[in-house]
Amino acid sequence: MEQDIFCQIAEGVIPTTKFYDDTWVLAFADISPLAPIHILIVPKKHFTSLNDLGGKDEGLLGHMILVAQRLAKEHGVALSGYRLIINCGPHGRQVVPHLHLHLLGGRELTAEMC
Ligand code: AMP
């Protein structure tokens, strides 16, 4: 089965600008940034969407959020503020079928999504 693009990034097949890497997650620059800071926090294990997570994955989800918080601090937007988004499914406008958390910041975001 062909791997999704984020699995390929996690395996180093597709190059990216990496900001964080550990056993569980990888964080890298979004290729089409919607804000001055637009980073994707992606689990290395494949989950198609948030719908695939269960109770045993609470730790992973918490870890993803804490990595986002750490990156917000490192990129100087912790105090100015930022937004975390997980798109899920067609109505959520999820395009890449691999769970990911968007970290957006560096400008005042609108009341809409971005
Ligand atoms: P979503 O709509 O939540 O599925 O968002 C997918 C995000 O992945 C979009 O913001 C894309 O710009 C981003 N994206 C797609 N391909 C790549 C890539 N090769 N490297 C970095 N970001 C990507």
Give CA–CA dist 39/105, Å, rounded: 9
- Retrieve residue 15's tokens: 């190059």
Q: What is the pLDDT of residues 90-103, one digit of tens each?
A: 999 999 999 999 99
Task: Tell me which of 26, 40, 48, 93 to substitute to probe ligand 1's pocket, judged by most ligand atoms within 8 Å of the beta carbon.
Answer: 40
Shortest-distance atom of ligand 1 to CA 86? 3
Residue 113 pLDDT greater than 70, yes or no: no
Give CA–CA dist 47/57, Å, rounded: 11
The per-residue DSSP string of 26-62 comes to EEEE-SS-SSSEEEEEEESS--SSGGG--GGGHHHHH
Q: What is the pLDDT of residues 28-66, one digit of tens each?
A: 999 999 999 999 999 999 999 999 999 999 999 999 999
pTM (predicted TM-score)? 0.96
Q: Which of 38, 75, 100, 102 is catalytic?
A: 100
Span 75-83, mean pLDDT?
98
Instruction: Give first-to-last CA distance, the chain, whole Å.
Output: 34
- 102 classed as catalytic: no
